[in-house]
Amino acid sequence: MTLLVSYSGVLGGAERILLDWGAAVPDPLLACPNGPLAAAARAAGFEVVVLPERSLRFRGAPVSAARALGALARDVSTLVERRRPPAIVASGRRPVLACALARRRGVPVVAIHNDLPTGPALERAVRWATARCDAVVALSATVARTVGPRARVIHPGVDLAHWRPTPLPAEPRALVLGALVPWKRADLALEVAARVSELRLEIAGATLPGDPPDFERGLRARAGRPDLAGRVTFAGALADPRPALARARLLLHCADREPYGLVLVEALASGRPVVAPGAGGPAEILAGGGGRLYRPGDPDDAAAAIRAVLASPGDPRARAEAFDGAAAARRFGAVVEAVRVAAPRPAWRP
């Protein structure tokens, strides 16, 4: 058995990666809140232990954050005592911090770092917790630089047979795919579309549980102004983004600090070029082609990149072939197996 720990119960890119990689470890036992991730894990044959749902919003609330981390650490400690897993996989900075606090001698911890710290204090805390882990995996070199020199970069991939190219439609349509949270910058996507008058924009995503509706309300208000009226569609969260990708000529990504960006690889595998900021994970993904990069936060440069891609889409699928999902999962599975073999047998208390 391998205990997988996720703080979130949503099914975003990081959680889908955890499912893909978890399938490559022995007898995965997923601990997470109830929700789409738990449902997908059960459908994939994982055993699931339901954790209490806790707020994803802690900025400016250090006391609440500390309490939630302490509670998660206690949950992990209880699970370790009851189930006695030979190894733990902590996915994301909160589980890494919690597992470092709950650490038991002889139970190795593998950290998956899939996000970027939001301040120097958090970065120091994450580095401290990471140093207590037995192996460290980062989804990108950008993330690896924030967590310390021991991090091994494994770029997640996709099942190329699942993401099949379809013919490009005649209509110039861009797809924005991701949660409607401020750091994903759907607001920037609207400003970019305002500069490309022939472009239609489909925004696929929803606010996260517990988030106020203000951000989405502001997006809809901006989309209704004369320069965008009638050109923007809000599709909500999509269980399967492939039909939306088939409708699009390109994927537009706008997050200034994207740790990786699995949706970019999915778009490339679907034969859709990507226009994304030239920073973080997107810069690594598009380093070998597949679209255009623009200066982060610059709507004029992004608009120019869109026009270039509409004129010459290239061969995005060829770039996607560098991101083989099964190969990435095998590499991660080998990391977990190595720490399981190397760890001393735990002296469990009766």
Reduced to 3 DSSP states, what percent helix, strand and coil does the chain have, rounded to the nearest 5? 45, 15, 40
Mean pLDDT of the region 109-126: 93
Instruction: Convert the pLDDT of each residue in 167-178 to its tens digit.
Output: 999 999 999 999
Give residue 310's pLDDT: 98
Q: Which of 46-60, 110-124, 131-145, 217-231 has the lowest mean pLDDT?
A: 46-60
Of 51, 45, 55, nearest in space to 78 by CA: 51
- CB contact set of 157 (below 8 Å; sequence gap of 6+): 265, 323, 324, 325, 326, 327, 328
- Which residues are bridge partners to 33 per DSSP? 51
Helix (H, G, I), strand (E, B) or coil at 268: helix
Give residue 15's pLDDT: 96
DSSP per-residue codes, 184-237: G-HHHHHHHHHTSTT-EEEEE--PPTT--THHHHHHHHHHTSTTTTTSEEE---
Distance CA 261, CA 257 (A): 10
- Bigger pLDDT: 200 vs 210: 200
Mean pLDDT of the region 306-333: 97
Give residue 344's pLDDT: 63
Instruction: Convert the pLDDT of each residue in 156-195 to its tens digit.
Output: 999 999 999 999 999 999 999 999 999 999 999 999 999 9
Distances (CA, A) of 21 to 77, 154, 162, 165, 206: 23, 11, 16, 24, 25
β-strands 28-33, 2-6: how paired? parallel
Instruction: Convert the pLDDT of each residue in 236-277 to its tens digit.
Output: 999 999 999 999 999 999 999 999 999 999 999 999 999 999
Domains and CATH numbers, the chain: 2-157+325-342 (3.40.50.2000), 173-320 (3.40.50.2000)
Helix (H, G, I), strand (E, B) or coil at 250: strand
Mean pLDDT of the chain: 94
Mean pLDDT of the region 291-319: 98
Mean pLDDT of the region 100-118: 90
Angle in degrees, CA 165, 170, 174, rounded to 5: 70
Confidence tier at 9 by pLDDT (50, 70, 90)? very high
Confidence tier at 2 by pLDDT (50, 70, 90)? very high
Give residue 321's pLDDT: 96
Express as a percent the part of the chain with pLDDT over 90: 87
Express as a percent the part of the chain with pLDDT over 70: 96
Give residue 349's pLDDT: 39
Of 275, 213, 206, nearest in space to 241 by CA: 206
Q: What is the edge-to-edge ordering of all strands in the sheet holding 47-51?
A: 47-51, 28-33, 2-6, 87-91, 109-113, 135-138, 152-153
Which pTM value belongs to this model? 0.92
- DSSP conformation class of 183: G
Distance CA 21, CA 40 (A): 14
